[in-house]
Structure 1
Amino acid sequence: MRWLSRVQRPRPSAAPPTAGTRTRLFVHELEDRWVPAAAPAAASLVASAAPAAAYGPKQLLGRVNAPQIDEASGLAVSGTTPGVLWTHNDSGNTAQVFALSTSGKLLATYTLAGTRNVDWEDLQVGPGPVPGQSYLYLADVGNNKLNRSTVQIYRIPEPSVPNAGAPPATAADAPTVTLRGAERFDLRYTKPGSGGVLTFPRYNAETLLVDPRTGDVVIVGKSRNDVFSVPAAQLRAGAGTIDLTYVTTLTRGSTFTGGSVSADGATVAVKSHSSVYVWSRAAGQSLADVFRAAPAAPTSVSGPAGEAIALTPDGGGFYTLAEGVNQPLYFWPRNA
């Protein structure tokens, strides 16, 4: 099934239309919404199991000044450099991540040597094998044609961004740095089928979550909203193909495009094109188990909010970033 949506590059509400505004046409692939007979009860995204966690109204922080960032698909708050956000482009683009200021200024571009951007859809910051070291996780999990039997996650130590306090005057002045030593993990989805027989379905996904407490990884399907996880201990060199374990299924009706976990591990968010769903996580609760309960009432983010979302370290708000060029960077504060 295919659907087309026309997305126009947004303009500031207080400013008149400007020359050069362009309209882009995006094609989104939706998988068949198949549910096995033995599937456990799905976690509802409609009924709220907790008080509403209202966010907003949105605040325009700035616009991205880098024309090479035109298909922003993931967003994460730096774990090493205050005031820095990480983003990247999606399918078929360069294997690069971009460091932005919280006003949308390009600080630096980092090329991940030895990697390939088949369809990078999300990124997260989280722990890794070296205690105290922050890592970037890149999710090469897009699979619009459902022709990939395995997907990839890349992990690399997060670099510091030395010019975060003084952004370059223009995007062209921002440095480009090569990062080496990225680890690649090949993963396949596993799910119990009829009679308990293990199956290996193919998914299109755009949401990666990394537990800041443990390093465990969760992936959420885009429109077949199954949730899968893999423990951090399995993400190691020489592991071969790693199995993603089925956890639960979220209620159908949403197309999930990104996710985030606050650095304190207490807040979890998953974004669709029109809403953000937020879960509060208890102490000792695994990241995967969060999705067995219903989230708080969703926050509407329709309009030019894009696919990407990043929670602040304490969960006190989140950033969103749209696709296109000169795209707006928004912040949505949490209402206490």
Structure 2
Amino acid sequence: MRAAGVGMVVALVVGSVGFVGAGPAAAQTTTAQELCRITDPAVVEASGLAPLPGGGYLVENDSNPEPRKMRLFYLGPDCSLTRSVGYPTTARDPEDLAVDRDGTVWIADIGDNSPLSGGSGKRRDTIALWTLAPGSKTLKIHRLRYPDGAPRDAEALLIDGQGRPVIVTKDPGGEVYRLDTPLPTDNAEGAPLTLVGHFTPSHSGTDNPWGFIGSALITGGAVSPDGRHAALRTYADAYEFDVPDGDVAKAITTGTPRVTPLPGEPQGEAIAYTPDGNAFLTVSDQGGPASILRYDIDRPVPKTSAAPSAPPVAVVDHRAKGALLAGAFTVVALGLVAAVARRARRRG
């Protein structure tokens, strides 16, 4: 979503949506570490991000006046551009990306900026996911639609433990959708999504370019490499959920998240996990050079049950035992002497 569009939706969203706190755990103070800076002029408006297994990063850029400039970019560890992949047909508004456990790249062409948010005014009947299988050089398209057929703007894609795509809308609030049917390919009519529930961020007060409204708009999502955690981000903060059973949509709609502030990012729209799952990676959607940042995640230490204490061991004092035995022998001996003496007196 372009920066100019955000200010135009402030009055609409604040006036029509009750900004209710989601009840997350208390936010921790965080400090960003700059990993590298994207300076190649081809890579602008990065709105999706994922690390590459051997080092480096994947990014994609969103709405652009020149469709051929919307591509999937491969970057080295220093953020230098190594190669790119174009779309076989025109992409509308790619906003997020993910890499699943099989190594398939998913690009979420799900943005739909309305005239009120700086868009073209032509809303979408369908949205799309693009996939790039390992070893493939061509992106495949998969068209989806919302259950009521109405258009929505969305910027967050997550892939759950069963390989199902989960999409979270940006406006007017966090509607959480999941594809519960087989993923179609090259289809004209969109496959229907299922509305699972909602997630509404809290007003955190974290510094961001859009203030109050920046804390409300969901701009990206990610799932940790081990599948045990999922994250949504706004322009201000990252919300992390525990995912004990692989059901990402359930975790987002019913869980209580932990909050990691992402203060001062120019227009933070992308989030990913590091390969070890212990930190977030982010990048801003902006026209000029953009930095890939790292934020360590502060998670509570799991409680471990104390090992049962062993029963007390009796300590035997062998000297005391010997004294007791000696005393016993003495008593027996004295008894025998006394008995012999009594018999001797009777005989005398």
Q: For 1:154, what is the secondary structure of its paired residue?
A: strand
1:244 counterpart letter in structure 2: L
Q: Distance in 2 between matches of 1:188 and 1:279?
A: 26
Q: Which runs of 5+ in 1 are unaligned?
A: 5-24, 35-41, 128-132, 161-178, 191-198
Q: TM-score, normalised on structure 1?
A: 0.71
Q: Distance in 1 between matches of 2:30 and 2:23?
A: 21
Q: Distance in 2 between matches of 1:56 and 1:106?
A: 29
Match of 2:23 in 1: 47
- Structure (1/2) with the larger strand percentage: 1
Match of 1:242 in 2: 191
- Is this contact kept in 1: 2:184–2:191, CA < 8 A? no
Segments ≥4 residues shifted beyond 4 Å: 31-34, 42-45, 51-55
Matched, 1:298 2:227: no
Residue of 122, 126, 136 corresponding to 2:100: 126
Deviation of residue 33 (structure 1)?
5.6
Deviation of residue 45 (structure 1)?
5.0
Q: How does 1:123-162 map to 2 (within 5 A)?
A: 123-127=97-101, 133-145=102-114, 147-159=123-135
Residue of 283, 287, 302 corresponding to 2:248: 287
Write the deviation string for residues 247-278 of structure 1: whole angstroms up to 9, x where unpaired: 11122661011111111111111111111111
> What percentage of residue pairs aligned between the two structures are identical?
28
Q: How many residues align?
A: 268
Q: TM-score, normalised on structure 2?
A: 0.69
Deviation of residue 100 (structure 1)?
1.6
Q: For 2:252, what is the secondary structure of its paired residue?
A: helix
Matched, 1:68 2:68: no
Higher Cα Rg, which structure:
2
Deviation of residue 53 (structure 1)?
7.5
Match of 2:297 in 1: 334
Relative to structure 1, the CA distance from residue 266 to residue 313 in structure 2 (aligned partners, 3 Å threshold; closer, same or farther) is: farther
- Is this contact kept in 2: 1:45–1:295, CA < 8 A? no
- Is this contact kept in 1: 2:235–2:265, CA < 8 A? no
Match of 1:267 in 2: 229
Write the deviation string for residues 26-51 of structure 1: whole angstroms up to 9, x where unpaired: 323649669xxxxxxx9975312xx5
1:119 counterpart letter in structure 2: D
Match of 1:207 in 2: 156
Q: How does 1:181-260 map to 2 (within 5 A)?
A: 182-190=139-147, 199-211=148-160, 213-224=161-172, 225-231=174-180, 234-237=182-185, 240-251=189-200, 254-260=216-222
- Is this contact kept in 2: 1:55–1:335, CA < 8 A? no
Q: For 2:193, what is the secondary structure of its paired residue?
A: strand
Q: Higher mean Cα deviation, 144-153 or 256-265?
A: 144-153
Q: Distance in 1 between matches of 2:75 and 2:257?
A: 30
Match of 1:99 in 2: 74
Q: Which runs of 5+ in 2 are unaligned?
A: 115-121, 202-212, 300-348
Considering only aligned residues, what root-mean-square deviation do their CA atoms show, in Å?
2.9
